[in-house]
Amino acid sequence: MLRFGIFFLILSVFSCSSDDKKDVSNNATQNNNASNNSAEPKCGDESVNQENEECDGRLNASCLSLGFDGGALSCTDACKYDTSECGTCGNGVLDGIEECEPEDLNGNTCLKEGFEMGELKCNDSCQFDVSSCSTCGNGELEADEACDGEAFGSKTCSTELESMAMGALSCTDACTIETTLCSAPFTDIDASDTYTCGLKSNGEISCWGSLLALGSDPDVPTGSFTKVSVGTDHVCTIDESTKIGCWGAITELPSSNSDFIDVKAGIFHTCGLKSDGTIDCWGTLPANLLETPTTAGFKQLDVEDNYSCAISADDEIICWGTDSAPASNRLQPPQGTFKEISLGETHGCGIKMDDDTVVCWGNDDEGKATPPEGKTFQTIQASNFNTCGIDEDDYVVCWGPERFKDQFGVFTKMASGREHICAIDNTSTTVCWGNDETDYPFEVPASSTP
């Protein structure tokens, strides 16, 4: 028994000693926590816990909430807001992340931004606007480029010069439009044996083919003209001052060269119609063949080989000159009233005033003086071997030898040569056709079509 009593006494002593150690350890932990909880708050402890701290590791604001337009707010080592990357666009000061101010590009240009041309701008967010910058030569139409290579957008000769202008635009190395290959459209046209001339809307004249006497295309005068007439060996015009000029084999001019409203060139003579309706003729024919009717009031005239005809004030046809050999009765026009006449070498045709039908007179070889029945015409052109006209459907209709074909389309003007016909349609396109076996060109130059 004594032995067991001693054992329990020893065990109790050890147990008390272990409990005392636990109490000491717990007290030490509590003392350490109390020490930590009582430490002073400071900048850098990632907690905004002082009155003078605006931030500490984390931000409780933004550039916008601080009154700026944008940017990136940060926190300094002193726990204060760093607004150096915030900005107010439009205040005239480059600040924050602004690239520019509306009136201050900070020395930058389209070139510095990697483009070749254009105007650098500043947008509403004070960032660079490169929409007006471009790189000329990349084949793409950009910004304020007028063109780039073959890229012209919707621009054509018509938009850059005038409606119905012909030809093609070209683009310079600086991406600007060049119109040297453009030309004004034809508004009128006339032809003779082997030569054709067109009058353009800007008053210029363009001609192709060859004058028989010269065997070549002579230099066409420059200037602004209102009329052009092509004869066998010469061409005559009326300029804006109402004066007549001629070039080719015959350059003779009227003695009183002013106040002309129309001119017609033949083979050996030329006649002009003045504003008072009088007619003046000149050339290399005998004087008696150049004598004109003394009355005034003539409305239209035409000339051919050694003879002339005109529509009088009473709308009747009057002819003078010599008949052809063999006799063709070309000086004996039909009775009645007419609104237009046209002469060939041995025959003539006129559009009647009352019903727009055509009546012809003179030599009728191969039916050139027999117009189609039942048709009305707006205009007619008689030539050496044929007659053509624009009918009520705007088609070009021809009669005479079968080689002179009709042309379908919407035509407004036309002219007949010895072996070819030319016409202008409603798009100002000029087309020519005729006998392909001739040795002279009658097709329109490429620059004469839109």
The amino acid present at 89, given as its one-letter code, is C
Query: Does 113 have pLDDT greater than 50?
Result: yes
Q: What's the token pair of residue 35?
A: 């020490």
- Residue 46, classified by CB atoms within 10 Å of its CB into exposed (0-12), middle (13-18) or buried (19+), is exposed
Please write the tens of the pLDDT for every residue from 115-159. Answer: 878 889 999 888 899 888 888 888 988 877 899 999 999 998 888
Q: What is the pTM of this model?
A: 0.67
Confidence of residue 2 (pLDDT cuts 50, 70, 90): very low
Please write the tens of the pLDDT for every residue from 268-311. Answer: 999 999 999 999 999 988 888 889 998 889 999 999 989 999 99
Question: How far from 356 is each of 10, 323, 342, 390, 416, CA to CA, in Å?
Answer: 152, 27, 14, 11, 20
**Distance between CA 96 and CA 71 in Å, rounded?**
6
Please write the tens of the pLDDT for every residue from 348-378. Answer: 999 999 999 999 999 999 999 999 999 999 9
**Domain ranges in the chain?**
54-87, 185-448
State residue 304's pLDDT score: 93
* CATH fold of 185-448: Methylamine Dehydrogenase; Chain H (2.130.10)
Please write the tens of the pLDDT for every residue from 64-92. Answer: 888 787 778 888 888 888 888 887 888 88
| 448 SS3 class | helix
- The beta-carbon contacts of 243-246 under 8 Å, at least 24 apart in sequence, are 244/270, 244/272, 245/221, 246/270
- Check if the beta carbon of residue 97 is closer than 8 Å to that of residue 72: yes
